[in-house]
Amino acid sequence: MVAELTAWQLADIFKRQLVQREAQMTNRLVAAYSRIQAGLKDKIDLLEADAARAADKIWKVQQLERWRTTKAVIEQQMAIYGGIAQNEMQADLAQSVKLGLIEAQQLTLGAVPAELRPYIQNAWNLMDPAAVENALGYFTPGSPLVQRINSYAPGVAQVYEEQLTNALVMGYNPRKWAKAIESATGQPLAWAVNTARTTQLNAYRQSAMAS
């Protein structure tokens, strides 16, 4: 029975479980992004080939139709990834809140003498997870987190155009700037993973404290 363990033992178990859930979420975010970036690489490779044929004139490259279509595809795919990342974060937030509420009770029971546990457990008011989620407000319309996720698509598309323009001005060969573009389109993955971890940990801690 969980209550038979000490608070320290329970805390260690819960910490390991939290790390495991974090790793699973990170793997899902990386897998989704890898699929999207693989498709983008094909588009960037085609643009690289077109640009190589027109590399003697910057304005020729900038007039390429593939320049514009690649930017549009990048923006579209980043919007898709933003939706995937938000769904992953929201699902994990709900789980973290529920576990935070329940495990706070279990930690408390593990910290008191066994004879007091039934009284504390009967008197414990387990909060509504949905109410706690609403109070945290991470995914309410217009929240800073939602705004940041929504900025994925136009932000990466803008970086793409800036990277490409700068590379052309600097006289980089198409292969070199293609690598720079691939690197730029990878930025949202790092942000999504770090934000998902922070959101998960904060939701767990705050719900546990509230409980």
With a CB cutoff of 8 Å and minimum separation 6, the contacts of 204 are: 18, 96, 97, 99, 100
Are the C-beta atoms of residues 187 and 64 closer than 8 Å to each other? no
Residues 119-153 pLDDT 10s = 998 889 889 999 999 999 999 988 999 998 888 88
Which DSSP category does 139 fall into?
Answer: T
Please tell me the predicted confidence (pLDDT) of residue 58: 56
Write the Ramachandran bin of 8: left for phi over 0, alpha for psi from -120 to 50, otherwise beta. alpha
**Domain residue ranges in the chain:** 2-210
Q: Is the pLDDT of residue 203 over 80?
A: yes
| Per-residue pLDDT reduced to its tens digit, 175-185 | 776 777 777 77
pLDDT tens digits along 33-76: 999 888 887 877 777 777 666 655 555 555 666 777 888 888 88
Mean pLDDT of all residues in the chain? Answer: 84
- Name which of 208, 153, 204 is nearest 17 in CA terms: 204
Contact 16, 187 (CB under 8 A): no
